[in-house]
Copies of this chain bind each other. A is one copy, B any other.
Amino acid sequence: MRSVMVQIPNTPTSADVARLAGVSRATVSYVLNNTSAVRISEPTRRRVHEAARELGYVPHAAARSLRAGHSRTVLMPAPAVPVGVLYGTFLNEVQGALGRLDYTVVQYGSVGLEGDEAARAWAELRPVAVLVPGAGIGPRGVGILKRSGARAVVTLGPERVEGAHAVLMDHEAVGRCAAAHLYERGGRRIGVVVPEEPGLEVYSGPRLTGARQALRDTGATVTAVPLAYTERSAARLAADWPGLDAVFAYNDEYAMLLMRALQDEGLRIPEDVAVIGADDLMLGRLLRPRLSSVRIELPSGRDLAALVDRAVRAPGGEPEAHRVLGVSVVRREST
């Protein structure tokens, strides 16, 4: 009655495998999961495997985790904006490392969801751990996830969130490092580029703050310089240059853009304006003068995966906070 009417064959279940192999569903489960508590005869095993192969049986993850009461899914909200090479590589590393620890990593496309709403959507999947980059979650969101069985919530960003483990990316340090370098090289009226593109405030804010911190009590001034990632915006800024003698340009891409616009206006780098970026991209080395940059060292994906794993295994523990992000100036010719 059931499979006769449909053209597309119903997807085979373990019951189908059992029927074909002439055994019970339990036996199928034992065989396919290599359950060590139970000994199954070799001929039976073969029959079961054979039947599974023939039907193209694939276990149903939802049913399995429903029964088990937990999953090994680690959920990461997918970044809504295309993320830099550095960070992108890092996220891939984390993914690979978690995979090797036998977790299933799922990036959840959360475009359009915000705050607790997003947390609730993630919680529906009952992940064993959640890894949130940026500032996508608050204490309430963490609560929702934990109550839904998440054994670890780890944030990856500039600030700590109550109840969650934190991998603190100290972007203030980036700003401090850049500003200190510019001051040391003689800069006194120092600009800090703040990208106009939305979504970057999480990083640009702390970088600006860090620069301010570093130059407090030095007599140097710090000016926020808004800049969009377009040639027009850069040209306008350069044409109307507010007389700054040094700039920390947020990252290497903005730095390259700005440097070119300043040069086109006849300003000499670094004599008239010193420019430093961040991320130490290779492309910055191709310009003339070569671009100085703040090199940012992210933790290894393996370390982060290990942190998640530890948190999952010992869910009771106090949330740890790790300050990461090694920063150092790579001085080239633009400062």
- Chain A interface (Cβ within 8 Å of chain B)? 7-9, 11-12, 56, 58-63, 65-66, 71, 78, 80-83, 85, 88-89, 92, 95-96, 98-100, 104-109, 111-112, 120-121, 123-126, 143-144, 146-149, 229-231, 253, 256-257, 259-260, 282-283, 285-287, 315-316
**CA–CA, A88 to B79, complex, Å?**
10
Residues of B within 8 A of A8 (CB): 146, 315-316
Among residues of B, the one whose C-beta sits closest to the C-beta of A119 is B58
Beyond the given pairs A82-B89, A256-B283, 12 more chain A to chain B contacts, judged by CB atoms under 8 angstroms and listed by A's residue number, are: A58-B123, A62-B66, A62-B125, A78-B105, A96-B112, A104-B121, A105-B108, A105-B109, A106-B108, A229-B282, A257-B282, A259-B286
Q: Does the CB pair A99–B112 fall under 8 Å? A: yes
Q: Does the CB pair A109–B106 fall under 8 Å? A: yes
Among residues of B, the one whose C-beta sits closest to the C-beta of A252 is B283
What are the 9 tightest A-B residue pairs by CB atom distance, in nearest-first order? Answer: A105-B109, A107-B107, A62-B62, A95-B109, A82-B88, A96-B111, A61-B124, A260-B286, A58-B123
| 14 A-B residue pairs with CB within 8 Å | A8-B146, A12-B147, A56-B144, A58-B120, A59-B124, A62-B62, A92-B111, A99-B112, A106-B106, A107-B107, A230-B282, A231-B285, A256-B286, A257-B283
**CA–CA, A111 to B95, complex, Å?**
7
Residues of B within 8 A of A124 (CB): 58-61
Looking at the complex, which one of B92, B109, B125 makes contact with A99 (CB distance below 8 Å)?
A: B109
Q: Does the CB pair B126–A61 fall under 8 Å? A: yes
Looking at the complex, which one of B107, B121, B125, B229 makes contact with A109 (CB distance below 8 Å)?
A: B107
Q: Does the CB pair A61–B99 fall under 8 Å? A: no
Given contacts A147-B9, A148-B58, A285-B231, contact A107 B92 (CB under 8 A): no
Q: Does the CB pair A231–B282 fall under 8 Å? A: yes
Task: Report A72 CB to chain B, min CB distance, Å.
Answer: 12
Number of copies of this chain that the complex holds: 2
Task: Report A198 CB to chain B, min CB distance, Å.
Answer: 14
**CA–CA, A61 to B104, complex, Å?**
16
Given contacts A82-B85, A286-B287, contact A62 B65 (CB under 8 A): yes
Q: Does the CB pair B126–A107 fall under 8 Å? A: no
Among residues of B, the one whose C-beta sits closest to the C-beta of A108 is B106
Q: Does the CB pair B257–A149 fall under 8 Å? A: no
Task: Report A75 CB to chain B, min CB distance, Å.
Answer: 9
Task: Report A101 CB to chain B, min CB distance, Å.
Answer: 12
**CA–CA, A325 to B282, complex, Å?**
28
Residues of B within 8 A of A95 (CB): 78, 109, 111
**CA–CA, A78 to B89, complex, Å?**
12
**CA–CA, A230 to B287, complex, Å?**
15
Q: Does the CB pair B11–A149 fall under 8 Å? A: yes
Q: Does the CB pair A100–B82 fall under 8 Å? A: no
**CA–CA, A222 to B104, complex, Å?**
45
Residues of B within 8 A of A62 (CB): 61-63, 65-66, 71, 125-126
